[in-house]
Structure 1
Amino acid sequence: MIVFGCIVLIAGCGSMGLWLAQRVRRRPEELRGFLVALTLLETEIVWGSTPLPEAFCVLKERTSPPWQDFFSALQLRLERGESAGKAWNEEISLQRSRFCLKEEDWRVIRDIGRGLGRSDSQEQQKQLQLVLRQLSMLKDQVGLWSEKQAKMWSYLGFLCGVAGVLILI
């Protein structure tokens, strides 16, 4: 019975560590997905002269979850008549927990909402390109950081389980 308890403790702590490591690894993937979506949005606004609700519909179809749900909700809000900036910020607040992004990522992403739909396509393009550069630099930094953090959480989970077993025995 004691052996079974030890195995459960190690497995439980280890799986918690693996879960945290998986969340850390998702951050660069989500940033990459957002960079692709932002590039598509820039193309739709500048070259396609697409209205924002239709542009968000295109993004919804071409992105993967969780960004797909984010842009779908934005499309619905804009079709109901909400302003783009307000819808953008409120959707970030509502869906933030579904992502593995950190506060510094959200600060940059939130900046997009300030000028979205308020100015002409050239000004929006400048703003989107600025955010693309910021996110690209952030993504490069996060890539190295996340691998180190993921390994640490994986090992730490199992080591905490072993330490718990040693303390209990």
Structure 2
Amino acid sequence: MLKMLGAVLIITAATLAGWIQAKQYASRPNQIRKLILALRRLQTEIMYGFTPLPDALERIGGQSGEPIRSIFRSAAESMKPGGNRTAQESLHAAVESGWKHTAMKAAEKDVLLQLSYTLGTSDRNDQLGHLETAVRQLESEEAVAREDQARYEKMFKSLGLLCGAFIVILFY
């Protein structure tokens, strides 16, 4: 009886580990899409709204879902008069602190960090061009993420169960 309970626990734990890994592959393209939409909204704010950058980032953060929301809101708070940080420093710090809560990889992080170097330092048209470049790069990363999801999501779900069964077989 105790052996059977142990076998069930091992299989359950391995299956859950596989499902958690599969969830990472499923979450990444969705988070990239949210980030693209947030950057598109920022383009609109800069082009038509003439909104100051901290206010625009705050508004965009409010419209985005987590974990994108916390990155933009953190950057906006750092840029406000009490924070005394530049747009580059604020966005860089927000990305570094909030990235661990995302399913995105280093390529997407690099796109945002590159954007932080140009955001708020040039005229409106130049910023719009940099935002468009960032969006295009993120769209290509989203395509890669969707391919990875199609390739690996089902595999990790099955692999978790099979590894659990393999461990049980080895012990018994």
- What TM-score does the superposition give when structure 1 sets the normalisation length? 0.97
Paired residue for 2:145?
142
Worse-matched range after superposition: 59-68 or 35-44: 59-68
Length, aligned pairs only:
169
Moved over 3 A (4+): none
* 1:147 shift after superposition: 2.4
Q: Residues 26-105 of structure 1 correspond to what in structure 2 (within 5 A)?
A: 26-79=27-80, 80-105=83-108
Return the letter of the residue paired with 2:147: L
Q: Distance in 2 between matches of 1:167 and 1:54?
A: 59
**What do the CA deviations read for 1:45-75 (whole angstroms, capped 9, x no partner)?**
1211111111011102211111111111111
* 1:102 shift after superposition: 0.9
Return the letter of the residue paired with 2:166: A
Paired residue for 2:160?
157
Give ranges in structure 1 of 5+ residues lacking alignment: none
Q: Does structure 1 conserve the Cα–Cα contact (< 8 Å) formed by 2:22 and 2:157? A: yes
Give ranges in structure 2 of 5+ residues lacking alignment: none
1:130 to 121, 133, 143: 133
Q: Does structure 1 conserve the Cα–Cα contact (< 8 Å) formed by 2:11 and 2:165? A: yes
**Secondary structure of 1:47's aligned partner:** helix
**What do the CA deviations read for 1:117-156 (whole angstroms, capped 9, x no partner)?**
0001100000000111111111112112112211111111
Q: Distance in 2 between matches of 1:9 and 1:116?
A: 50
What value does the CA root-mean-square deviation take over the aligned residues? 0.9
Q: Distance in 1 between matches of 2:106 and 2:140?
A: 16
Q: Distance in 1 between matches of 2:31 and 2:73?
A: 16
Q: Does structure 1 conserve the Cα–Cα contact (< 8 Å) formed by 2:75 and 2:93? A: no
Paired residue for 1:118?
121
Q: Distance in 2 between matches of 1:65 and 1:23?
A: 15
Identity %: 24
Return the letter of the residue paired with 1:90: A
Q: Does structure 2 conserve the Cα–Cα contact (< 8 Å) formed by 1:85 and 1:115? A: yes
Paired residue for 2:4?
3
* 1:113 shift after superposition: 0.2
Q: Distance in 2 between matches of 1:84 and 1:77?
A: 8
